[in-house]
Amino acid sequence: DSLTSLNDNTKDATTTTGDMFFSNALKDLADHLGSTTYLASGTASARLFVQLITSVTYVEGVTYLKAFSWTPLYRDMLKDLDESSRVIAAKEPLTDAERIQKNNQLAIVELMKVYVYEILVESYGDIPYSEALDFENVQPKYDDDREVYLDLINRLSAAIANLDPSGAGFGAADLVYGGNVANWVKFGNSLKLRMGMRIMDAEPAVGTQAVTTAVTGGVFTSNEDNALFTYLNDINNANPYYAFLVRQNLRYYVATKPLMDYMNAFNDPRRGAYFYSVNGEYKGAVSADVVPYNDYSALGDRFREMTLPVIFLDYASVEFFLAEAAERGIDGVTNADEHYNKAIAASFDYYDLDGVDEYLAQPNVNYHTAEGSWKQKIGIQKWIALFEQGFEAWTEYRRLDYPVLKAPAAAFSDIVPRRFTYPIDEQSVNGTSYAAAAAAIGGDEYETRLFWDVN
C-alpha cells in the first residue's frame, strides 16, 4: 500500500544490462593489478615481494607485515562477473546473431572469471571456490587448490571452444579488445598456455595437454595481441600510478639493488623506460632500507602518464613460456633460443626501444652463453621483462626460483614469501573453514609451498 511504498528507492537502479558489470569488473581488475601499495595487502604487493621495486618510506610491504585482503577479487570482480553472466544468460536471444553474441559474451566473462580465480589460487593455495559467491552460505569451505586449478583449466577449455570469432562480443564495453572476439580466443589460449606451464612440475600430463592444445588453438603472436587495459586521459580514469606519483607526489618507490645490479650488468636499455637515473647512474636500494628517495632511481616518465596501460597478459610472456616448453621437450615446440630472443625482443618492442640485437648479443644475455640452467636464464630475463606485471613476476619467481632473492633482515619472514597468508578477517568471519584450510595446505604461513611449486 502507500505506506510500504515509501520504502522504495527511487534514486538507484536495481537492474541493468550484463555488459556494465563486465566493464566494471575489467576496470576493477586493472585498478587492482596496477595499484600501488606499500603494504603487504595483496596482488599489488607482489612487486615489492619479488624486489622489482622497494619503498624507502614505509616498509610494511617489503618486510611482509601481514595485511592481506581478497575482498577486491571476490567481491568487486568475481561478484560482478557473476552478475554479468547471470543477466546475460537470462536474456533470450531473438536472432542467430544475438545467440552467437550471447555465447561469446558468456565465454568471455568465463575467461575473466578463470583469470581472477587463477590469481586467488596462486596467491593463497586453497580458497573458497565451489561454495563461493553465495550469500546464503556465509561460511563457505575452502577447496583444494589442485582441484580448483584443474577445474579452472577445464572451464577455460570449454570457454575457448564456445567463442565464435565471426560473431560479436561486448563491443565498446570490452575495455580490453574493443569487442574483437578473435583476440579473446588468443587470450584464452595464451592463458591456458600459462596455466599449463604453471603446473608442469606438479601435473605434467594435464600441463602438457593444456600447453599443446593452447599452442594449436593459437596464442599471442605479437604485441598487437596483448591483453591491455588502457586508461583514459581523465583524472577519474587514470592509471593508479598517476594518482600516486603525480597527483599525490608520493616519494616511496625506487628500484631495488638486485634489479639494478642485473640491468646494469646487461646495459639494459629498459632501465630508462622503467626508471629515472640519478646523476647519470641507475641505482637501486636494498629492500626495506629507509634511505633518501632522491638518491635512488625512481619510477620513470611512463608511470606518470594517465593513460599507462595495465597488462593482463602479454606476448613476451607467451614467448618465454614457449622457450621453456621447448626446453621441456613438449610436442610441437622447439628452438628455445628463438623463443627466448623473441620474448626479449617483444619486451623491447613494447617499450619502443632499439638495440635488442646488441642486447641479445651480450654473452651474459645470449641464450647459449649466459650463465646457468634454462630456468636461471629464462627466470632472470622474465623477471626483468615482467616489471609491470608484479604478481606474475612473483609467481614465476616462485616457480622458477630465479633470480635468487633474500628476505630483508628486518622482514617478518626468513624467506621471500611463497604465498600470501589468508586475510586476517577470515579467522573471525569464517573461522572453521579457515582452520581446516590452514591445516590442509600445511600451515597458513609464508613458507608453505603451493601445490605447483614443487621444485
By CB under 8 A, what part of segment 211-250 binds other proteins? 232, 234-237, 247-250
CB of 104 to other proteins, least distance (A): 18
Residue 221 burial by CB count (10 A; 0-12/13-18/19+): exposed, middle or buried? middle
Query: Does residue 396 touch other proteins according to CB under 8 A?
Result: no
Query: Does residue 130 touch other proteins according to CB under 8 A?
Result: no
CA distances 36 to 31, 76, 241, 253, Å, are: 9, 17, 7, 9
CB of 73 to other proteins, least distance (A): 8
Query: Does residue 23 touch other proteins according to CB under 8 A?
Result: yes
Measured from the CB atom, is 139 or 373 closer to other proteins? 139
Measured from the CB atom, is 364 or 427 closer to other proteins? 427
Q: How far is residue 439's CA from residue 7's CA, in Å, rounded to a whole number?
A: 47
Mention every residue, 6+ apart, whose C-beta is less than 8 A from residue 175: 23, 26, 27, 30, 229, 230
Q: Exactly one of 79, 302, 304, 328 binds other proteins (CB under 8 A); which one?
A: 79
CB of 211 to other proteins, least distance (A): 30
Q: Exactly one of 110, 145, 426, 453 binds other proteins (CB under 8 A); which one?
A: 426
Measured from the CB atom, is 11 or 368 closer to other proteins? 11
Q: How far is residue 299's CA from residue 296's CA, in Å, rounded to a whole number?
A: 10
Q: Exactly one of 94, 172, 279, 363 binds other proteins (CB under 8 A); which one?
A: 172
28-47 binders of other proteins (CB under 8 A): 28
Q: Exactly one of 424, 436, 439, 454 binds other proteins (CB under 8 A); which one?
A: 424
Q: Exactly one of 38, 55, 83, 253 binds other proteins (CB under 8 A); which one?
A: 83
Coil, strand, or helix at residue 124? helix
Cβ atoms within 10 Å of 215's Cβ, excluding its own: 22
Measured from the CB atom, is 143 or 392 closer to other proteins? 143
Q: Exactly one of 60, 122, 327, 396 binds other proteins (CB under 8 A); which one?
A: 60
DSSP 409: T
Cell numbers that stand for 122 in this block: 596462486
Binding mask 291-330 for other proteins (x = CB under 8 A): xxxx------------------------------------
271-290 binders of other proteins (CB under 8 A): 290
Query: Does residue 177 touch other proteins according to CB under 8 A?
Result: no
Q: DSSP secondary structure string, 207-261?
A: HHHHHHHHHHH----SGGG-EEEPPPSSGGGS-HHIIIIIIS----EEEBHHHHH
Q: Exactly one of 48, 50, 112, 173 binds other proteins (CB under 8 A); which one?
A: 173
Strands (E) located in 4-69: 53-55
Q: How far is residue 445's CA from residue 95's CA, in Å, rounded to a whole number?
A: 53
Output the CA torsion sign for 24, 25, 31, 37: positive
CB of 299 to other proteins, least distance (A): 16
Measured from the CB atom, is 25 or 322 closer to other proteins? 25
Cell numbers that stand for 170 in this block: 561486448
Q: Exactly one of 50, 82, 177, 206 binds other proteins (CB under 8 A); which one?
A: 82
With beta carbons less than 8 A apart as the criterion, state whether 440 and 142 touch.
yes
Q: How far is residue 373's CA from residue 384's CA, in Å, rounded to a whole number?
A: 17
Query: Does residue 74 touch other proteins according to CB under 8 A?
Result: yes
CB of 148 to other proteins, least distance (A): 13
With beta carbons less than 8 A apart as the criterion, state whether 224 and 266 touch.
no
Total number of residues binding other proteins (CB under 8 A)? 75
Stretch that binds other proteins, among 21-29, 159-167, 344-352, 356-364 (CB under 8 A): 21-29
399-418 binders of other proteins (CB under 8 A): 410
Coil, strand, or helix at residue 353? coil
CA distances 303 to 82, 96, 253, Å, are: 32, 45, 11
Q: How far is residue 184's CA from residue 91's CA, in Å, rounded to a whole number?
A: 22
Query: Does residue 80 touch other proteins according to CB under 8 A?
Result: yes
